[in-house]
Structure 1
Amino acid sequence: MAKNNPIFKKCGCRGPVLDAAGTPVLDADGKPKKRRLGAGCPQLRRGTGWNPRHGSWHYQIEINMGPDADRAHLGRGGLATSDEAEAQITAIRTLVAISEEHADDPEAAAKIRAEIVERIQIALKDRTSLPDAVELRTAARVGQPIVNKTTVEQWLTDWLDGKGKIVANTKRGYATHVAKYLIPHLGQVPLDKLRVSHVNAMFNAIAEDADIIPAENAARREVEAAAKKAWKDSDPVAVRAAREKLATMPPYRRPANAATRQRIRATLRSALSAAQREQLITVNVAALAELESGKRPKALVWTDARVRRWKATGEMPSPVMVWTEKQTQAFLARAERHEHYALFQLVAFTGLRRGEACGLRWNDLDLPTRKMTVAQQIVQMGWETAITAPKSDAGARDVGLTAQSVTALKTHRKAQKKAKLAHGPGWIDTDLVFTGPDGSPLHPAWVTDQFKLLLREAGLPPIRLHDLRHGAATLALANGVDIKVVQEMLGHSSSTITRDTYTSVFDELKLAAADAIGAALTRTDNAA
């Protein structure tokens, strides 16, 4: 290359190493040594010009870093044209010149220049685009770090640590998303290098995993069933084989469905919004990621046909299933003998959430006027529990009670007073309606376990305890209660949530509607 010309051409060709006499130098095996020809390859030129079919363009420039600092050398190769090399040199010099805009503060200018050069060096090393001049100029003006070495993992960790003033269960949800999904997939990416493609790739991987997990869970259940059968048949060899196979199989996992993936995105979006406020990034890529809708699953009723199908195959028609009136009545008939019948009856009649029922106090009840105030809940965080305010502002609400619920609560209060007398002075006075044998709060997980036991004993198709809440909403809507009233009973912030999630309609009502239309259109007394 010409002297002082920062742009030159090189190739990867190799030629023999020659001694002073022009003789090839041999290696220890007697073979000619080779060296890269680089810019000296004769094939780089064609006549008086460059050979467009051989080699690639490179550049190498020096940057003056100040009187007391060594010069910085910046360069890149593999470029298709000399014009591209010239454009990059111009762009680099423009970026470095940003530091000269702060010449009134030499110390600050030197620091800015060093950071800009470091950013350029990182881009050249990673073979990525040069930094944006507007971004660097803005960062230099407002004192934002020009070189951001924070990784996504470091930022998510700091962000979580700073989330002190949020509901504990919300923070726990954030922590789960960060630990299980965001850090494993994105943690090592520099925060300022996080792109939409990274986020899309993460969600594609999570979706693929969600498709695999049900089959893995089913395979594990089959092996566990085989182990139980072998144990029952007194076949130790088969038991050992099944256990050895189980040890190699993935544990049970819950797939991250579309709704869960939307919540994971919401966590990332919140964290990146905080990074934007700190001026660490300029774009919230989580908001731009492509993600399928996390539409709430439609609640379906356990009709006779669906029950028969479930008994034959074990398949659940929907993640959210609702009992018919007769099925709910059958459950309550069995639950009536349970010490906490009033709790299950209250959930079935009013749609209370599990935590709201566990956190209900006698002080929140006005039995003579048949009113109940939802003022607190007991939430589960891992295994630990905590008493918190309702889930939202709309969750703090007044709910009307049926005469049956008032009767059940009065009976329960008498039983609780007897238990308190029987326990003696060690009774824990919490004012809670539903308590353990010593007056302590009920653990929400215990309530769920009791519910599952009761529905099995009643011979009913499975639903979740939360689905009793769905059933209360569905029964209310099916019997003509206005959706706004149902919304307020459930503590929803919007009737849209109520409509989208809980408006299952029993087949009998669908048939009744069809019959009404048919009757109207076939009447013979209509005027001509």
Structure 2
Amino acid sequence: MMARRDYGGGTVEERASGRWRVTVELRPDPTTGKRRRRRYTVQGSKRDALQALRASLNERDHGGVDPNRTTTAEWLQRWHERRVADQAVSPRVAENYSAILTKRVVPAIGSVRLQDLRTEHILTLKQQLSEDLAPATVKKALGLVKQGLSAAVAAQLLVRNPAMAVPSPSLTTGVRERRALDETEVAQLLDAARSTPYDVPIRFSLATGIRQAELLGATWQAIDLERRRFEIHQTLAQLRGRFTMRPPKTRNSLRTVELSDSTVGLLRRHRSTQLEDRLRLGTIWEDQDLVFPGRVGSPQFRQAFYRGFKEVVEHSEIDAPSTVNWHILRHTAASLWLKAGVDVFTVSRRLGHASASFTMDQYGHLLAGQQQAAAEALDHLLG
């Protein structure tokens, strides 16, 4: 019997003619710190046993990735697919990130061998991205690359992250105030939406300030018409034509939005109409308890829903209709609340923002007139 020999974290030992025991040293148990090993038998020659050992060590150290051959594209795509499988990002975000990697990052640096990747490659990528993309999109793309390469460092495929030395573009230059509809434009939009499937969704969004994914994921079970409350606890996510319900994007997005009498009346009429549709369609109707489903009760495709909304906008009398998207309804709700005197903290809670300071950063320009009111508030006392 041949003696065992160590091969950098593993051993090969001949147990009988043509039978080899391979032992792989694993990382210590994270809880107890005890030594861990993996043992298995290989039949064949010593070369076969050593090849099996090398594969096991590579799997242990690099997740099965060959550090000498893997390209940047192969690693980033593998890393992204693993994050999607682990549900580290929502389906919609995963779809956006996949498009950034495939269309922007891979053509620029994807062919470079991962171990040959240098800071100058990332600088070139940044320059190419900046030629036709907004600074916010460039920042998102670079952030994605930095995360992926940090994972490569953690997997011991890279000694250092070459992207960390590349600064993200500043977003302070040329930042424009958020577009919001004024009261006249709101009236014009509602006139155009009347008698269309978008009438109630638009009115409900303006009344609550909810996101599109929260709107399309809303269920009747989450709406208490008697207590005039809407519990936001899920959003509709869509990836490659498949639908799933997911928690909102942040902890603060889990919230309760109180409803006005007018909004409750709107929902009661909408539910009555929906029940009539269910009776008319019979077994064709797919009951998923959605407040704003498609024509037969199933979830609505985000792109189709948005195209229909844009048609409504185009038929309205709003100036520059191309600048109006669905998210503007959320900004409009916030701006109208603030102009009506609703305090920033309440607006922040209603929108599901991370903090009131974030709300101030987004909409603080709408409160400029309150400075003068504050300056004059104590005049009657101070003479």
TM-score, length basis structure 1: 0.55
Q: 1:446 to 1:299 in 2, by over 3 A?
A: farther
Q: 1:293 to 1:495 in 2, by over 3 A?
A: farther
Match of 1:203 in 2: 126
Measured against aligned partners, the alpha-carbon deviations of 1:186-216 in whole angstroms (never above 9, x if no partner) come to 11222222222211111112112x1xxxxxx
Q: Is the 8 A contact 1:474 1:503 kept in 2?
A: no
Comparing 484-493 and 356-365, the one that deviates more: 484-493
**SS of corresponding position for 1:287:** coil
Shift in Å, 1:367? 0.9
RMSD of aligned Cα (Å): 3.2
Q: 1:294 to 1:148 in 2, by over 3 A?
A: farther
TM-score, length basis structure 2: 0.75
Cα distance in 2 between the residues matched to 1:285 and 1:467? 38
Match of 1:495 in 2: 356
Q: 1:413 to 1:297 in 2, by over 3 A?
A: farther
In the alignment, structure 2 segments of 5+ residues that lack a partner are 10-59
Cα distance in 1 between the residues matched to 2:251 and 2:301? 24
**SS of corresponding position for 1:373:** strand
Match of 1:65 in 2: none
Match of 1:433 in 2: 291
Match of 1:293 among 170, 179, 189: 170
Match of 2:331 in 1: 470
Match of 1:481 among 320, 342, 356: 342
Cα distance in 2 between the residues matched to 1:337 and 1:297? 40
Q: Is the 8 A contact 1:260 1:294 kept in 2?
A: no
Match of 2:224 in 1: 366
Q: 1:370 to 1:504 in 2, by over 3 A?
A: farther
Measured against aligned partners, the alpha-carbon deviations of 1:69-88 in whole angstroms (never above 9, x if no partner) come to xxxxxxxxxxxxxxxxxxxx
**SS of corresponding position for 2:148:** helix
Q: Which amino acid aligns with 2:269?
A: T
Shift in Å, 1:504? 4.5
Aligned length: 323
Cα distance in 1 between the residues matched to 2:291 and 2:192? 21
Match of 1:418 in 2: 276
Q: Is the 8 A contact 1:262 1:291 kept in 2?
A: yes
Cα distance in 2 between the residues matched to 1:393 and 1:170? 17
Cα distance in 2 between the residues matched to 1:525 and 1:485? 29
Q: Is the 8 A contact 1:299 1:503 kept in 2?
A: no
Match of 1:124 in 2: none
**SS of corresponding position for 2:257:** strand
Match of 1:324 among 182, 187, 200: 182
Cα distance in 1 between the residues matched to 2:315 and 2:218? 27
Match of 1:170 among 93, 107, 111: 93
Match of 1:258 among 122, 130, 135: 135
Asked if 1:337 corresponds to 2:192, the answer is no
**SS of corresponding position for 1:399:** strand
Shift in Å, 1:173? 2.5
**SS of corresponding position for 1:170:** helix
Q: Is the 8 A contact 1:340 1:434 kept in 2?
A: no
Q: Calculate percent identity across the aligned residue pairs.
A: 28
Q: 1:296 to 1:330 in 2, by over 3 A?
A: farther
Equivalent residues in 2 for 1:50-449, closer than 5 Å: 148-163=68-83, 164-166=85-87, 167-208=90-131, 210=132, 256-294=133-171, 300=177, 320-381=178-239, 385-449=243-307
**SS of corresponding position for 1:378:** strand
Highest Rg: 1 or 2? 1
Shift in Å, 1:384? 5.0
Q: 1:419 to 1:189 in 2, by over 3 A?
A: same
**SS of corresponding position for 2:284:** coil
Q: Is the 8 A contact 2:61 2:156 kept in 1?
A: no
Q: 1:191 to 1:419 in 2, by over 3 A?
A: same
Cα distance in 2 between the residues matched to 1:207 and 1:287? 18
Cα distance in 1 between the residues matched to 2:266 and 2:175? 32
Shift in Å, 1:182? 1.8
Q: 1:265 to 1:434 in 2, by over 3 A?
A: same
Measured against aligned partners, the alpha-carbon deviations of 1:266-295 in whole angstroms (never above 9, x if no partner) come to 211111121111111122222221221245
Q: 1:369 to 1:194 in 2, by over 3 A?
A: same
Cα distance in 2 between the residues matched to 1:524 and 1:143? 74
Cα distance in 1 between the residues matched to 2:307 and 2:174? 24
Cα distance in 1 between the residues matched to 2:279 and 2:307? 27
Q: Is the 8 A contact 2:61 2:155 kept in 1?
A: no
Q: 1:520 to 1:373 in 2, by over 3 A?
A: closer
Q: Greater relative contact order: 1 or 2 (C-alpha under 8 angstroms, separation 6 or more)?
A: 2
Q: Is the 8 A contact 1:153 1:186 kept in 2?
A: yes
Shift in Å, 1:400? 0.9
Q: 1:295 to 1:404 in 2, by over 3 A?
A: farther
In the alignment, structure 1 segments of 5+ residues that lack a partner are 1-103, 110-141, 211-255, 301-319
Measured against aligned partners, the alpha-carbon deviations of 1:204-247 in whole angstroms (never above 9, x if no partner) come to 12112x1xxxxxxxxxxxxxxxxxxxxxxxxxxxxxxxxxxxxx
**SS of corresponding position for 1:476:** helix
Q: Which amino acid aligns with 2:245?
A: I
Q: 1:520 to 1:487 in 2, by over 3 A?
A: closer
Q: Is the 8 A contact 1:150 1:191 kept in 2?
A: yes
